[in-house]
Chains A and B, each alone.
Chain A
Amino acid sequence: MSKTHNLKRSNLLILPFIVTLTILTLIPFVMLIYLSLTSGGFSLKARQFVFLSNFIKILNSERFWKAALTTLYWISGAIVLEFPLGLIIALALKRADRRGLKGKNLLNTIFLIPLAIAPVVVGVMWRFMFNSSFGIINYLLKLIGVNGIDWLGGKMALFSVILVDIWEFTPLFILILYAGLQTIPEQMYEAASVDGAGYFQSLWYLTLPIIKPVAAVVIVIRLIDLMRWIVTIFIMTGGGPGTKTEILNVYLYYLAFWQYDIDKSSALAIVLIIISAIYAYIFARLSTKGTNIISG
């Protein structure tokens, strides 16, 4: 078939997609840029051009920097704990698989459950268990002699929401790292063991280098999703107590839908979108090999 023929066909096929994408993402994005550079009320026409002053306002606000710091703690805390936990469990799963453990499918199904649950239900469920007077967690802790921790209401709040994120998303690391481990051919392990490598040696010199690219991809995916996450925090603490768990997205929600401060919130949204675009770029660079997301 000739090239022009292809071109016409592809236009016809891809047109609905492009139109939808333009209306739903490009136009809102342009609007957001316009809103962030102007000031005034809800009516688009009545807004006045103020150049970067919205950005300056947001970057000068103390609450923004506090939220940025909280976001940093939240993202790094979640990743730093989820990745090793997920790796350990995936390795255990792989080892059990190689030793011929029964019930592997059941375990895999159980590891799917936290991912399958709607985030809002996760938030509600943990809020109930974290309850300081009748929650089951404090009851269990009492049995081993730890008394009355105020999980969501006090200093522990940020740690608690990170804990919930660990519960919810460690399975993502498990599933993907395990899938990565499955690609390692059994012969490689045999060869390593013939050469006299023990479990930890073959882990360090064989397994880890092979799954490094997969691990990098999952970590970036988690970075992207943590950057846009809000639901569980919104449900469990709403950013509180005070602003202890207020990550940037919660702050943005507060600005946009509590204060109806369009100027500041659109500037903040632009900042968040720029960060997301950087992550997306990293992801695209990481995944060009062996995947088909970005291809010419």
Chain B
Amino acid sequence: MLHSKRLILAHFWLAFAAFGLALIMGEWQMLVRSPLHTWIGNPDWYYRSVTAHGTAMAYVFPTLVAMGFGYAITEAALKRPLIGLKWACAGWVLIAVGTVTALVPVSLGLASVLYTFYPPLIGSPFYYLGVVLVVIGSWIWVALMCINLHVWKRANPGAPVPLAMYANVAGSLLWAWTAVGAAIELLFQILPAALGFTSTIDAGLARVFFSWSLHAIVYFWLMPTYIAYYTIVPRAIGGRLFSDPMARLSFVLFLVIAMPIGVHHLFADPQVGAGFKFVHSVFTALVAVPTLLTVFTISASVEIAGRLRGGTGALGWLKALPWRNPMMLALAFSFLMLGFGGAGGLINMSYQLDSSIHNTQWVTGHFHLIFGGAIVIMYFAIAYDLWPHLTGRALANMALIRTQLWTWFIGMIVLTFPWHWVGILGMPRRMGFYDYTNPAIAPEALPVMASVAGGAILVVSGALFIAALIGGHRSEQQQPDEYRFSVAVQPSRAVPVALNGFGLWVALMLLLTAINYGFPIAHLMSLHDTSVPAIRTGAAR
């Protein structure tokens, strides 16, 4: 039973509003730097748009989805109203205010620093303050998740924490620790420069702090998707979860090894030693373990569904699956994109192979395929699954929903595959202009135009998504059943104490952070001649 429906709906709608606007900006960026459009003349407009697109898509949209979904899980899994509803509302207000505070200076051209901040570029302090407000709002959510779990545990001593809530709190703890790196960078390096207290900044150290957040944030984005894989998909397609402990193990492994791997974003940076780059590369490779555990467990769970529906033989169960069920479609598309994206990611995370595609469009293709593809398509699925319970009305138009999922998948493939290709050809990313008449880059013109078409399909799909949700508010009222999560083949009457709490895993996370980041940060902080003048964007001309 969901009690705080308006709170959850407010999170989802603000998230999807930010997503819709950023989606249109993304396609505009694709268009103006493609051969289909003449050069806009002023690159500043391009970088304004990139900054707004990245800020909305990376900070606002997934954070709000994780929060709204987290509140829904808390009430549905713990079967009690959310504790701290007023605090939750305050968190939402902080994020809404932070988003506006950040995006106003961006649209005025006073903070074209991209969402990765890129010191020594310094923009308007309001941009960074807005981002800080978004992070503080999300930390309220982290605290509420921990408090709700704690209260429930005291009321149910020794009982296994429901899997959905266990995974949800793992995600919130991951985010709490992940955000610390960027928070340190913002509060101690960037904001003092933006406010005029300092005129120089140690850009190398700032990049190390940002890398602390930059990769693990992807696993925070991934958490709602993985929670949906384990706790929604098997129920929605009529199957059983293959293994509850395996699911818990995957989530705690993400908690431990998602964070101390960020230096693989700095392979070309001179301020970090080669030894640490190698160690971070090794730990990045280890992320394959929880990922493959998940792929195996979910595939087994889906096979159970296929066989329960009468499928037989080695592959017959595949045919018996409910392919017209949106959740089945979303899962299949998500896995396909996760597979392609993961394969590309193996190149990015390899210290040596990365140099062939570093800072090219390959990287843009990679993270759009993983985040925009595998992750976001499950956000859609989560919204479709929750909507009848939030609105008290059925989502009637299944054909529209299926079309939306298909177009998102096709659009994302058409967008990102050519991006990977032009990346191999050497096309740099984050540039507003390419002279396609130059023989050296003329071969990139056709794939870039294909990407523009892919982006257009995504815009259509995004519009269908919004239309489907609005339709859900207008359809016939119905009393939905109680919101349920997947049931495991062997229900978890008892789970190992280590997989019912987080103490051990948080301790390991802190230990690995100290090993992998301790020396580089301490070393860079001990150097005194490494700061460079801060460069203000949008300064008076």
Partners in one complex: no
